[in-house]
Chain A
């Protein structure tokens, strides 16, 4: 448990570093959104649920004492810290401004910030992901208690299993891509440099081969948590258990085939765009199955609106929004217009924050008593859930409109006509009118609140084991 406490603590530290400055130079702004992206994606969203809830719940739910390789687990923790240290060093010693996507040839030839240090940090952390994934897979295969068959496993395990498969299969490719960027920077080997026969778009292929599945690493465990919460709080069996379970696996497999939808306008072949668009639409099916089945589980259930359930309901709503807007991005013609605008920003924040983070918070609240033996303050927790929901929508909904109107992402300055919507979004983010709009400040809404809800659940905890729901996760 020290492990989990430590993980949460480091993540919080990483977070607190990040919401920075109000009126900054474009260069600083670029460093800010890069750091925001890198830290949030690689050091928070990807490890959050697996490392905290996963490590705790996987052995418990299958009736094992610990993961299959406890030492490997500890190693993965140290590896994570090492990677984070490199990235933090890059941040402190001047920052990096590649964007979290590290697109070549910008990252490999044109920037002289700490690209290599950051990439190395991400590279190292990748190993931590791989080790964790491996550990979960082996544990789930080999250490189920007698009677715990595949089809009786809690849905959370199915989703963690699917995410682990992605961890193991996709992460090495990111490592290779970043390694090549490093090589290119140091030795000019010419893999991405068109001047000596390289192909800059190749990097995008490698990067998104990892990074599209990676968004499912982030959301799948969240879906698992929500499956648990919804069944628990509507006091029903999950509707269509087998569909929810298999849809997790379907997502894991298909997520590897759609990365081309990030390359519609990259000068990728028109046919490759066509195929990846079609497959992206297909990939919406398993996600939709989950949403329908959750709704069906809720239907005629006796629902109790406790804090974790509020998060779960928030998840379903926001995830649906995020998912449906994903169809507009996956559709070729609209995708061309919306690509790299604020529409994309809003879309993935609805999935990542509205989805993964809400599920994470819901899960943490739900299993908090189980983990610590104490209960959070329910009233405050519900209040926090509502505030997050409202603030989140206030922040990110205007961004859909901004994106539709054509405001590009990663802009430190922008034409005046976007100001109204930008201000609304910023107001949602910080209740402060600011002229520049940046994603870091947007997240300043969520993070302090997140921290607050965590702290309040820490501070207002009262002794005792809490009520029945908390004790029986299944």
Chain B
């Protein structure tokens, strides 16, 4: 009898321990640390598009500095993909229509595999790449060498005028649409009284389906931009609208 009880208790305890350990790490992985470096990822049959906030864009390759937490914000242009870096023990599905995120902190410079881990069609197994982890100085140099004329937010600004957003969203608030200065991250009250926070997903929804987010005091005249903007464009527009809120000055070059 005593034997049986120990026989049951020990495996149970091991299991409970395994469960709690796994769960605590899982929660830690779900919340990225403050001040993590941001990278934006768009999965597309069958390649990865990545962009740094400073502007450089990469395909199937990502350069990051060592010992710095990196947070990926990901979405997909078509089907579900999955951003999997075995060496970092991280993976997260990249789902069309929403933003998912994952974060990691590389501890050793080197070159690591990037796989798509969610079956996504014919060339699924070709949807691979590398993560190049560089020393801090190496990374700074890489950024300099690959710097683009514009940052992501500036690209967003360009789009903002090219797509004619600025004809309605005048900065002084006199246009047909609300001024977007200082709005990002704040609460928005919709016409039916619902409260939402203006985050990336909200802006994305505004651009693609403005009718679903009617504001009081405005006529719903904003057209949908579905089909005119890619997911990458949307990310740039978000970066721009966000920059309007953080007071950081974004000027046309």
| Contact between A406 and B115, CB atoms less than 8 A apart | yes
B103 CB to nearest A CB, Å: 12
Chain B residues with CB under 8 Å of A26's CB are: 122-126
A264 to B93, CA, bound (A): 9
Over the window 242-276 of chain A, the binary record of Cβ atoms lying under 8 Å from chain B Cβ atoms (1 yes, 0 no) is 00000000000000000000001111001001100
Find out whether the CB atom of B91 lies under 8 angstroms from the CB atom of A339. yes
A340 x B91 contact (CB < 8 A): yes
Contact of A195 among B23, B84, B95, B226 (CB under 8 A): B226
Classify chain A: how many residues form its interface, as a range. Answer: 35 or more
Contact at A332–B26, with CB atoms within 8 Å? yes
The distance in angstroms between the C-alpha atoms of A267 and B113, with both chains bound, is 22
Q: Which residues of B contact A180 (CB under 8 A)?
A: none
Does residue B60 face the partner (Cβ distance < 8 Å to A)? no
Does the CB pair B91–A27 fall under 8 Å?
A: no
Once the chains bind, are A408 and B115 in contact (CB under 8 Å)? Answer: yes
Which chain B positions have C-beta within 8 A of A337?
A: 86, 89-91
Which of chain B's residues have a CB closer than 8 A to the CB of A267? 92-93, 95, 98, 100
B30 neighbours in A (Cβ, 8 Å): 270
Known: A105-B96, A277-B22. A410 touches B125 (CB 8 A): yes
Q: Are A414 and B121 in contact (CB under 8 A)?
A: no
A30, A278, A327, A408: the one contacting B116 at CB < 8 Å is A408
With CB as the reference atom, state the residue of chain A lying closest to B118. A340
CA distance A194 to B95 in the complex (A): 9
Residue of B nearest to A31 (CB): B122
Q: In the bound complex, how far is the Cα of B12 from the Cα of A127, in angstroms?
A: 39
Q: Chain B residues near A111 (CB, 8 Å)?
A: 121
> Which of B74-82, B174-182, B241-249 is near enough to bind chain A?
B74-82
Q: How far is the CA of A110 from the CA of B96 in the complex (A)?
A: 13
Judge whether B7 is part of the interface by a CB distance below 8 angstroms.
Answer: yes
- Digitize B110-137: 1 where CB-to-A-CB distance is under 8 Å, 0 elsewhere: 0001011111111111101000000000
Cβ of B18 under 8 Å from chain A? yes
Q: Inter-chain contact count A-B, CB under 8 Å?
A: 144
**Judging by beta carbons under 8 Å apart, are B95 and A106 in contact?**
no
Query: Contacts A194-B98, A200-B97 given: A97-B26 contact, CB under 8 Å?
Result: no
Residues of B within 8 A of A333 (CB): 21-23, 25-26, 29, 89
Contact residues, A305-354 vs B (CB, 8 A): 327, 330-337, 339-341
- Check if A150 is an interface residue, CB within 8 A of chain B: no
State A101–B80 Cα separation when bound (angstroms).
Answer: 13
Question: CB of A4 within 8 A of chain B?
Answer: no
Q: Which residue of A lies closest to B27 (CB)?
A: A270
Closest to A101 in B: B119
Which of chain B's residues have a CB closer than 8 A to the CB of A341?
86, 117
Which residues of chain B come closer than 8 Å to A414, judged between CB atoms? 125
A199 and B96 alpha carbons, distance in the complex (Å):
9
**Which 5 residue pairs are nearest across A and B when measured between Cβ atoms?**
A406-B86, A194-B97, A331-B22, A332-B26, A333-B25
Which B residues form the contact surface with A (CB < 8 A)? 7, 11, 15-16, 18-19, 21-23, 25-27, 29-30, 45, 78-80, 82, 84, 86-87, 89-93, 95-98, 100, 113, 115-126, 128, 226
9 contacts between A and B (CB under 8 A): A106-B79, A195-B97, A265-B92, A267-B92, A278-B23, A281-B18, A331-B18, A331-B22, A341-B117
